[in-house]
Amino acid sequence: MNKYTNLSFILLISSLCIGCTSCSNNASHANKTTADTLAKTIWENPRKGKIWEKENVVHIPLTAYENHLLGPVKSVTYREYELPGNGDSAKVLVDSGYNEYKQSGHLIVQNEYDANKMPKIICSYKYDGKNNPTEWDLRLFDDNVNSKTTFTYDDKGNRLEEVTIDSNKENSSKTIYKNDNRGNEIEADIYNNLSNLKQTITYKYDKRGFQVEYVEKSGPRIVNLKLQCSYDDKGNKTGGTDYSSDTTIADKWTEKNDSMGRRIETDYFLPDDSLLEKRTIKYDETGYPVEYNTYKPDGSLYEDKSYSYKNEYDKAGNIIRQTEIRWNGGKRVPITYTEYEIVYY
């Protein structure tokens, strides 16, 4: 999955895309670096204290900071290739893209192209004076779909309303948000194109402002999903329980973090507390996550759920070449290779 785009997961054009951070809470760089200080990069998790949270329509972070980009990045151009695996054939272009950022680090346009360099996706973003997103304008070329989402806020910057107008009218929607007096979002009521309530999402917080419960309901009553989460005193997740209904436990999990708050292990358990699987993350000397391993209850490796990256960085600390490595027949085999061109302000 391309870390700068993640465009293969497209919204069902309902404009409510949810990214589970309990299972994917990768840390981000918190400061600019030079070649001399690259190895001393300080990492910080921008999603501390949150279970699930809304992302943009093409499932990538709206800021360069969240996307692990360092310094005043103006644009990122990438080309992703498949590797033949046997070394006998040349690499094959899969897709490519171009993302552009404001000087503040906020994403303003992204493009994705297919292997023939024909456009697949273009999405542009607008913001208000406080850098709150005010408009997403999306076009999906393959499906001939156009979708525009607009947002409104109160004078405190709390999101009040989100409206998506889609060329496929069935995918148009409206979401009304409610916030508490601390500015925490506590409810999102989602209506379909006929103005019927389709889904309600609610959040609960502890006294520190950390999300401790997330609930999805069909209409106002039927619970389809409930997540509960606990944190340490720094806001790093320590564990939680996932429910498939209001009372039915789907699984439980515990999480371990290093001294910088980076997730290094998550253990998943069945409702009877027996181990389901263990996931670990390792980081390179720059602090970037480069190895993801998943283990069975007996300690053996799930090869199809384990992978790693080999990265090369520029002087600012941004990735300019990345090779994804997967397991195949007991061997680690390079699968994809991506080149990045970073332009700075």
3-state helix, strand, coil in the chain (%, to 5): 5, 55, 45
Backbone angles phi, psi at 266, to 5 degrees: -135, 125
Average pLDDT over residues 289-311: 96
Output the DSSP codes for 128-145: -TT--EEEEEEEETTTTE
Output the DSSP codes for 51-86: SEEEE-TTSS-SBTTTTT--SSEEEEEEEEEE--SS
With the C-alpha atoms ordered 157, 232, 28, 243, is the resulting torsion angle positive or negative? negative
Rounded to two decimals, the pTM is: 0.80
> How is residue 326 written in tokens?
């997967």
With the C-alpha atoms ordered 238, 242, 247, 248, is the resulting torsion angle positive or negative? negative
Output the DSSP codes for 193-244: TTS-EEEEEEEEE-TTS-EEEEEEEETTTEEEEEEEEEE-TTS-EEEEEEES
Given a contact cutoff of 8 angstroms between Cβ atoms, the answer to whether 337 and 321 are in contact is yes
With the C-alpha atoms ordered 186, 219, 61, 308, is the resulting torsion angle positive or negative? positive
Please report which confidence band the pLDDT of residue 59 belongs to, taking 50, 70 and 90 as the band edges.
low
Given a contact cutoff of 8 angstroms between Cβ atoms, the answer to whether 148 and 127 are in contact is no
Q: For residue 64, what pLDDT is reported? A: 86
d(CA 296, CA 180): 42
Lowest mean pLDDT among 18-32, 158-172, 224-238, 327-341: 18-32
pLDDT tens profile 148-174: 999 999 999 999 999 999 999 999 999
Given a contact cutoff of 8 angstroms between Cβ atoms, the answer to whether 173 and 15 are in contact is yes
Average pLDDT over residues 287-307: 96
Given a contact cutoff of 8 angstroms between Cβ atoms, the answer to whether 41 and 35 are in contact is no
155 phi-psi bin (left φ>0, alpha ψ -120 to 50, beta other): alpha
3-state secondary structure of 97: strand
Nearest to 154 by CA among 136, 124, 180: 180
Which amino acid, 247? T
For the chain, what percent of residues have pLDDT higher than 70? 81
Average pLDDT over residues 177-186: 94
